Amino acid sequence: MKQEHQGNLLNPLPVALVGANVDGKPNYLVIGYISPFDFGKHIFFSLYKKRHTRKGIHENGTFSVNIPSEVLIEETKLCGSKSGREFDKSTLFDTFYGALGTAPMIRECPINMECEVVEVLDYDPNEGIIGRVVKSYINSECIVDGKLDIRRARPFVWATGGDYNYYRLGDRIE
């Protein structure tokens, strides 16, 4: 039987750490409402305006997207529960920079993308941020026969709408 439901039901969702330099220091937040766009040449994500990282995204016009492995779940939870206003998240990870120079990326994450902001949509109290993907990086151990094998990145996903749990990636459906 179908029943009406309040709250997001589009599940499960990828978990990403979005990074930006705020006042010259790397900051990272957890974004769960994020999607590739335009064949993956762009990325879209939903950003709550009160997030500390927003200041850096607007100031620099750049951000990064980092896909954490399951071994980083505690650091991910910390990034999701504490604000960069009160906690220096730059100490949690080894940060590196790429072509843009201002989009801090997390070396411990097997997958990283650096992006340039091209459009900001105002859906108060949230913003839709659209970035052009300038360069993407992957740990070589995630490549098998020249192709990505996502299982080797050991990513995790989450569910919203009342569930609010993290899940492992399951078996490949052959």
Scanning residues 7 to 66, which ones bind a second copy (CB under 8 A)? 7-14, 16, 33-46, 48, 65
Whose Cβ is closer to a second copy: residue 70's or residue 88's?
A: 70
Give the Cα separation of 153 and 142 in Å (integer): 6
Contact set for a second copy, span 75-94 (CB under 8 A): none
Q: What binding mask, one character per residue, do residues 105-144 give for a second copy by CB under 8 A, x or -?
A: --x---xxx-----x-x-x--x-x-x--x-xxxxxx--x-
Whose Cβ is closer to a second copy: residue 22's or residue 34's?
A: 34
Torsion, CA 87, CA 92, CA 98, CA 102, rounded to 10: 10
Tell me the three state secondary structure of residue 124. Answer: coil
CB atoms within 10 A of CB 50: 9
**71 scored as a contact of a second copy (CB under 8 A):** no
Give the Cα separation of 110 and 105 in Å (integer): 11
The only residue of 30, 67, 79, 100 in contact with a second copy, by rule CB under 8 A:
67
Question: Shortest approach of a second copy to residue 93 CB, angstroms?
Answer: 14
Chain mean position to CA 41: 16
**159 scored as a contact of a second copy (CB under 8 A):** yes
Nearest CA to 80 out of 150, 160, 151, 162 is that of 160
